[in-house]
Amino acid sequence: MRVVTYKRTSTDHQEVENQTSSLDNQIKVFGWTRVGEYSEVQSGIKSRDNRPQLRQLMEDARRRQFDRVMVYSLDRLGRSVVDVINTINELEEVGVHIFVVKNAIDTSTQQGKLFTYFCSIFGEMERDMLLSRQKESIKRLRGKGAKWGRGTLLDEKKKDEIHTLRKDGLSHRKIAETLNISKGSVQHALKVANG
């Protein structure tokens, strides 16, 4: 069994030693062959895209340079359920399994597959809740005419005014000037309406 280890740690030296020791012991118990090691040292929250070692691990997995990835705990793979599940699914798609030392989760077994399935359900719920909260926030901000990102959220009345002025033959620039909004907001409102 060709195995690699992945460690994501803060700058705490003791945490690095604990993960390394646990992973080394498990490899020895199973008699697997370590063919690589990936380690991120970081502080603060970073998305999966900002972790070069994890990106390299995923590229090497697609090249089938190993059969299994060992991590100390699931939270090493990501900061959210969705992040963890996406990583596991991408690895599984290329035939690479995960072994989590702390919880003895092995995605090559039926129990491991079942665990991944339930995680996927919770990941979907997490995503739905985030989207729902975001929609509610946008709706609340739109009602106040507040900012979202770099632009102002347009309420329905403002959108209706844009369409009326456009039907009257005004250019995007002239509509923006008349309503005191950006030209981009005008273009976006008209584009959304036209599908």
Question: Which whole-number Å values give the CA distances from 118 to 22, 99, 114, 123, in the listed order?
Answer: 26, 17, 6, 9
**What is the model's pTM?**
0.58
Question: pLDDT tier at 146 (50, 70, 90 boundaries)?
Answer: low
Question: pLDDT tier at 158 (50, 70, 90 boundaries)?
Answer: confident
Same domain for 110 and 19?
Answer: yes
Query: Does residue 159 belong to any structural domain of this protein?
Result: yes
- Amino acid type, 48: R
SS3 content of the chain, % helix, strand, coil (to 5): 60, 15, 25
The whole domain housing 171 covers 154-193
Q: In the chain, how many domains are there?
A: 2
Distance separating alpha carbons of residues 40 and 52, to the nearest angstrom: 8
Residue 145's pLDDT is what?
A: 59
